[in-house]
Structure 1
């Protein structure tokens, strides 16, 4: 891999500066900024941005490589020096231990990670990290970040989930170009600077330097592409208000600039040939994850690692115009002042004293604003991160839907009921507690409650809700197609916020093509790259239902969608997406080739085998379908999907013995998947009805879904099982009398 070095960029910058030959948007390097911005440079040195990535050398390595050993379940990994280089002896995907040279460091506190470079230019993070905290804090030790991972897991250290080029580079270095070559399966990734330097946030500085040579010229934004100033120019006290109100509000690219890295999002491109990388519109380069169940609790509290932006966009502070630099020094990354002083910038101190607000003793940890409103969750074993949604603690919601609350986390000797009653007593007039929460609607939607259609629609159309919450309501509508959700989506596809339009696309998934086309077709020419490409992605599955004019309207956005996949062809999912486009167009040979490329690039991705097997089934190649599923089971033995699909293939051939065998394997691999138990039961009916009812009972047990209980009762009636009445009684407590009447015929 040929990396551009800082010294090279510094020399280029100096040469161009002296010659006056500055082209637009050139990256000049940090050293070109130092002379005029000495304080900012001083603040930046040693910061998390400065230390985000470094070459492996004595001044950057924090860990002990002095022949250290780490014993995990009797397997010994070793960290050592060889010819002034840093090395690790660690088990590879073949199960054999091998020496790997450490090429780069990653971060520095509270932990530091290390990376090795493979021959094809792939840079991978090893699974061990150095705890850089002090010994008193439990640090100064090696620890295993992913002890439960094996070679079949996406996040095993040599697999794609730990690949720097795709997963990490864009945020840890400046001006990254991934440069993946699909033909050779190799990377030639480059960057202007190895760490997060000035131009990572401000953009290329060449025109700014040109302006600095002649400040009499009228140059927008002093030569930069983006305005990073705070959004609110001043905050003012308004009589009767406890919180200062925004004044002199203007547009700012600061939140989107910080958010390009401090967010859970997917990257669409790093192309310089187009304007996609202009951070003025985040959604031209990225797609921000909404408040989805796999990342957040139903009330928006952080669950998985979401890196701030998605949390912050839920907050009232975001809606008021607060941005990152209102609290943080953007160059040192530290708070601008002690935490309570930060809060009192806007919150009138007399109104938020311990006596009036926190109800905890003044000066204690419990009385601090952040203790209750920014609870921390520890990730990567030792890294506690604060929730930036600034939620009001809601133990009453914990009682209703099981979400965590900071009161019970602190008072762990008390019940949640006690916490809810105490909060209600201390804040009897709380408007927040009396206002219906979207958390209940999101929780009910996850459980499949029929009432979700109305509740989600109401949230999506409520302008008082944060836009990310409205978007999250829209994306959940895909399972609840109705007139209400259709109306909500119809209005939302015209909304000014790109994420709301994106989520409306997802939410439309439950509607048939004739209804979906008029909703989404206007978005095919949307001004935002991610919106029009996502619209094309959503509609292409109905290609055969389109007339020629509709297909022509699809073409430009669909080609752009393919560009996104081509950018990401180092990942199996991109080849899957390409294959699905070909499949929709009935170009079966091209679809088959793309599925095979997905398998080659990422052999552990189970969906590739399942989709290719389904393609073979559609084209009458049953033997090849089963063969590719067996290949998938060998390469990804942890996927129940492949065993499930193999069972279906044998079931279609009336080979019940093999079908039951593979369905049984699926329940062993994924015992909490109710569909595995349900289909096993249906296959067992002709062989052993008693086994069938045991499997259907298990399907209901793991899902608590009345539909599975309905099926079980149906078969108990059919086979005159002695426990039929007990089953019917249990079902009657979960479904309407009309459903019971339909089942029993009474």
Structure 2
């Protein structure tokens, strides 16, 4: 258990000496760090760390009472277990402190889980100093954020960022954890790296040891870079140049420019935690190595970002920041934040005025507001999104607010976030009166291509291809464009992917793996084969995994080329084997290689470790179907629906299995439920419409139309037009008029030829 391993973990990590070893020489930095977000990231639960009220507090939630209390010096909570039985659990650790504090329970199998209640640590006048249920809409046992499920597991979800030098130590065979760390919170060495050599450097010097036996070792220490550390966290720009010319010049001319740059590992060091990513291993921390040797960064994915790049779901800053002009100009975190206090180094617009001439930007002529909240740079260029009910976090893409994008794309705008009593049209009119070009549609902006791709427009392939090759765009945007090409095929797409494979930025290269997915194995092999020996672990392993999907079609020579990177891919899956996705992906690999028994075992193991992971059930059902075991496929899908009743995918797979078994009525019910659970899935509506056609033309037409409306896929509109023509609908011509600009002329002409005379 973690508590008992505190000292042994330090002994096992000899190069890590602990933050208190830094105090004597770095007194001010240590003082700044104490009480900071990093210091309070995780603590043993005691009188100094616990802010919540555990004085026999009882609260009601969903017709059940929960208690927070103390036993001598320990803290306890009375919660319902999986069987609904109220059970006393000891609080082992605290998590964070402001604006909320969370608490964790440690189990005998090494698992550490966050309880579902959090303490609102804001002031009473701000609505704080009370317990609240953290995820009220995601609390059922089949949901990820139920407190005993994987979504609230510290070992996988949180540990790597909230403690120092974490080793997860998950045993796939026993399904147990032996997670250890060098320091319980985010200490000095979490950022600076192991400090033992730095201490040697500080205590020894070549001059002091020139005449003794320690001279050679001291010389070695002295010659190590960065005073015994393996990295520098200095600012990337050593000197800025600013014109100070005032408002007579353009905005660009009144913004400081980097004059002298220097090597720094600061941004990548911060990004390890302040990013949305999948951890691939917990080997030595990154310094100058590629980010993808330890993590797989989430690009500008449709599920986490709006099409204009604004953050929707949590991305923890880095993905937004990589889009920004700040990043383009080598700004790093410490240009704005004190890394020890984690607070801003200056308040208000003074922070931005370090680079942006206040005579130009900090004026009503620029921001069009009086001296109020609207005049603050961050409120327009870094709007807040609230997570965990009370935690406001700013968007770090530093974008310009465009209210018209709310109409075009459905993304938020900073104007209406403040003026929430006003309409979007009001915001458009006011901002246009200030900046006439602001709300003008710019087809070259990446949001146009992203919105088109989200709608499933086949013509998106060209826009995405051009975007991915636009050197004026941030690399993360170009990579996201490549990733979105997985929905489409086309000559320009092939060219874009081929160039991405050769790009120096690892984000574009790994995106090419996804972007190539709709092509044939021959085409895909030609595209991705160079990546099998890529210098970055993430890229070569993902390329191998993608090509292994076609294992039976590969030559023995090609299979041999996959052997080494597939071994690394399996190591990544083994590291993440505490999660259903990893064991399911391993099952997929075995299934493609023809190892049915191993595949079945992996899928079942996935269900064991994460019963609510829908993909394990659907893939196991597909395996059974390929073996002619239709009844077993239906049975496993039924088991999955019990474990994950809100999954539309499971209902859809069940419907397909029932259709194959000629159980059409039951299949229709499952399809209807699938569309209800996932109403924005066009494919579900499309298949539902096909299944409805023999029974009700009207309902089928409605379903085809819904499929097109939610996806924008012309194939679904084509199916609707064909249905109307075949059934002599008076609206057939109207449907064809809508289809005409979306498909080749010959397609429309063929349909028109079938119209009744």
TM range (shorter): over 0.9
Q: Which residue of 2 aligns with 1:115?
A: 104
Q: Tell me if 1:68 matches 2:68.
A: no
CA distance, structure 2, for counterparts of residue 725 and residue 215 of structure 1: 92
CA distance, structure 2, for counterparts of residue 621 and residue 434 of structure 1: 54
Aligned ranges for residues 15-164 of structure 1 at < 5 Å?
26-148=15-137, 149-164=139-154
Q: Secondary structure at the match of 2:516?
A: helix
Contact 2:513 2:528 in 1 (8 A): yes
Q: Which residue of 1 aligns with 2:523?
A: 515
Q: Which residue of 2 aligns with 1:557?
A: 565
Give how far 1:676 is off.
3.2
| Cα-to-partner distance string for 1:533-553 (whole Å, 9 max, x where unaligned) | 111122111122221221111
Q: Which residue of 2 aligns with 1:17?
A: none
Q: Tell me if 1:586 matches 2:582.
A: no
Contact 2:457 2:714 in 1 (8 A): no
CA distance, structure 2, for counterparts of residue 669 and residue 413 of structure 1: 32
Contact 1:481 1:511 in 2 (8 A): yes
CA distance, structure 2, for counterparts of residue 116 and residue 543 of structure 1: 44
Closer/same/farther in 2, CA of residues 315 and 521 from structure 1, 3 Å limit: same
CA distance, structure 2, for counterparts of residue 664 and residue 407 of structure 1: 40
Q: Which residue of 2 aligns with 1:271?
A: 283
CA distance, structure 2, for counterparts of residue 396 and residue 2 of structure 1: 52
Give how far 1:557 is off.
0.7
Q: Tell me if 1:470 matches 2:460.
A: no
Q: Which residue of 1 aligns with 2:167?
A: 177
Contact 2:465 2:481 in 1 (8 A): yes
Q: Which residue of 2 aligns with 1:324?
A: 333
Larger mean CA deviation between 431-440 and 117-126 belongs to 431-440
Q: Which residue of 2 aligns with 1:16?
A: none
Closer/same/farther in 2, CA of residues 3 and 495 from structure 1, 3 Å limit: farther
Q: Secondary structure at the match of 2:88?
A: strand
Q: Which residue of 1 aligns with 2:509?
A: 501
Q: Which residue of 2 aligns with 1:230?
A: 235
Which of 182, 197, 204 is matched with 1:192 structurally? 182
Give how far 1:4 is off.
6.6
Closer/same/farther in 2, CA of residues 396 and 636 from structure 1, 3 Å limit: closer
Q: Secondary structure at the match of 1:510?
A: coil
Aligned ranges for residues 178-577 of structure 1 at < 5 Å?
178-216=168-206, 217-238=222-243, 241-272=253-284, 277-278=286-287, 280-361=289-370, 363-428=371-436, 436-577=444-585
Larger mean CA deviation between 503-512 and 54-63 belongs to 503-512
Larger mean CA deviation between 117-126 and 541-550 belongs to 541-550
Contact 2:236 2:331 in 1 (8 A): yes
Q: Tell me if 1:656 matches 2:664.
A: yes
Q: Secondary structure at the match of 2:386?
A: strand
Give how far 1:256 is off.
0.7
CA distance, structure 2, for counterparts of residue 684 and residue 498 of structure 1: 46
Please tell me the root mean square deviation across aligned C-alpha atoms, in Å: 2.3
CA distance, structure 2, for counterparts of residue 97 and residue 7 of structure 1: 34
Contact 1:706 1:735 in 2 (8 A): no
Aligned residues: 728
Aligned ranges for residues 584-733 of structure 1 at < 5 Å?
584-687=592-695, 692-693=700-701, 695-700=703-708, 702-703=710-711, 705-720=713-728, 724-733=729-738
Q: Secondary structure at the match of 1:87?
A: strand
Contact 1:270 1:277 in 2 (8 A): no
Closer/same/farther in 2, CA of residues 430 and 699 from structure 1, 3 Å limit: closer
CA distance, structure 1, for counterparts of residue 150 and residue 304 of structure 2: 20
Contact 2:117 2:131 in 1 (8 A): yes
Give how far 1:299 is off.
0.8
Q: Secondary structure at the match of 1:63?
A: coil
Q: Secondary structure at the match of 2:603?
A: helix
Q: Secondary structure at the match of 1:251?
A: coil
CA distance, structure 2, for counterparts of residue 430 and residue 416 of structure 1: 14
| Cα-to-partner distance string for 1:116-144 (whole Å, 9 max, x where unaligned) | 11221111111110000000000000011
Closer/same/farther in 2, CA of residues 103 and 300 from structure 1, 3 Å limit: same
CA distance, structure 2, for counterparts of residue 428 and residue 666 of structure 1: 46
Closer/same/farther in 2, CA of residues 57 and 693 from structure 1, 3 Å limit: same
CA distance, structure 2, for counterparts of residue 676 and residue 427 of structure 1: 44
Larger mean CA deviation between 436-445 and 679-688 belongs to 679-688
| Cα-to-partner distance string for 1:443-502 (whole Å, 9 max, x where unaligned) | 111012233112111211111111111111111111122111111111111111111111
Contact 2:9 2:181 in 1 (8 A): no
| Cα-to-partner distance string for 1:408-435 (whole Å, 9 max, x where unaligned) | 2223344333323333332347699868
CA distance, structure 2, for counterparts of residue 526 and residue 510 of structure 1: 22
| Cα-to-partner distance string for 1:53-104 (whole Å, 9 max, x where unaligned) | 0111111110011111221232212211223321111222222322211111
Q: Which residue of 2 aligns with 1:18?
A: none
Q: Secondary structure at the match of 1:235?
A: strand
Contact 2:41 2:163 in 1 (8 A): yes
Closer/same/farther in 2, CA of residues 607 and 674 from structure 1, 3 Å limit: same
Q: Secondary structure at the match of 2:58?
A: strand
Give how far 1:713 is off.
3.7
Closer/same/farther in 2, CA of residues 648 and 255 from structure 1, 3 Å limit: same
Closer/same/farther in 2, CA of residues 698 and 323 from structure 1, 3 Å limit: closer
| Cα-to-partner distance string for 1:492-536 (whole Å, 9 max, x where unaligned) | 111111111111221111211111112111111111111111111
Unaligned runs of 5+ in 1: 14-22
| Cα-to-partner distance string for 1:184-215 (whole Å, 9 max, x where unaligned) | 11101000111000111111111111111223
CA distance, structure 2, for counterparts of residue 687 and residue 469 of structure 1: 46
Q: Secondary structure at the match of 1:57?
A: coil
Closer/same/farther in 2, CA of residues 352 and 677 from structure 1, 3 Å limit: closer
Contact 1:4 1:192 in 2 (8 A): no
CA distance, structure 1, for counterparts of residue 38 and residue 385 of structure 2: 22
